[in-house]
Amino acid sequence: MIQAIVFLPLIGALIAGAVTLYGAHQRNPSGDEMDHVHDHGHGHGDAHAHAAHDDHAHDDHGPVEPPAAGSRSAEVITTALLLISAALSWMTLVDVGFLHHDARVQLLSWIGSGDLVVNWALRVDTLTAVMLVVVTSVSSLVHLYSIGYMHEDPARPRFMAYLSLFTFMMLMLVTADNLVQMFFGWEGVGLASYLLIGFWFQKPSANAAAIKAFVVNRVGDFGFLIGIFSIFMLVGSVDFDTIFAAAPA
C-alpha cells in the first residue's frame, strides 16, 4: 500500500507526459514552430480587433493552438490516481498513527561506496503518515480544481504531468529513510516548482519568476549539503535510525 501511495502520482505524471508528447506530435508532425497569428482572411480593421483578442489570450493562457489529443484522458487519469493515493493515505494514517504499525519498505540498494551505504526505502511513522494525508489530499483537490481552471489551455496535459510529478517528489521527500533520499526529494520538488512556475514559458514574467525560484532553491541546497556532510562526518551514516540512535551522544 505504501508503494502505491508514492508511485501512483508518478504513473499519472508519466501518462500525462506521454499524452503531451503525442498531442504535440499530432498538432505539429514536422516539428516546426507553430504560427500563432490568427489574422488570415480578415480585413485590416478586423485584424486589429483579433490581434488585441489574441494578445489578451496570450497573456492569460499562453499560445492559442489546438488542444492536445487525449487531454481529457490525462486529466481524468492523473486526478483519479491522486484520489486513490489520498484514500490509501487516510488508511495508512489510521494503521500507523492510531494502531502504531510503523512501516519501512526497502525498495533497492542505491549507493555503496566505502563507509557510505544508502538504501532506497520508504519510511512511514506517525509524522510521515500525517504528511502523506496532507500532501495527497491537497494535491488531489488541486488536480480537481485544475480540470476546470485549465480547461481552455491547449497544454493542460503538460500541466497535469507537472502537478503529479510535484506530488511524487513531495512524497519521496516525506517518506525518505535517509538524508540522501530526502535530498533527492528536495531536488525533485525544486525542479517541479520550476516547471510549474514557468508553465506559460512564452511570458517573460513567468520565465523570470521560474529562474528566481530555481536560484533561491540552489542556495538552500548548499546549506542542505553542508548538513548532510557534517552529520556523516559525526555519525558515519546518513540513515535516520543510526542518526537518531547517535543523537543523545
Q: What is the pLDDT along the chain (249 residues), one digit of tens a residue?
A: 889 999 999 999 999 989 888 766 565 665 554 444 344 444 444 444 444 444 444 444 444 556 666 788 889 999 999 999 999 999 999 998 888 888 888 888 888 777 788 888 899 999 999 999 999 999 999 999 999 888 888 888 899 999 999 999 999 999 999 999 999 999 999 999 999 998 888 888 988 999 998 888 888 889 999 999 999 999 888 888 889 998 888
Cα(106)–Cα(93) distance, rounded to whole angstroms? 20
Dist CA 206 CA 162 (whole Å) = 15
Ranges of each domain in the chain: 2-177
* Closest by CA position to 10, among listed 213, 228, 214, 162: 162
Contact in structure between 199 and 206 (CB atoms under 8 Å) = yes
Are 184 and 118 in contact by the 8 Å Cβ rule? The answer is no
Rounded CA separation 191/147 (Å): 23
Question: CA torsion sign, 108 to 171 to 164 to 223?
Answer: negative
Cβ distance 54 to 38 under 8 Å? yes
Cell reading at 157: 496535459
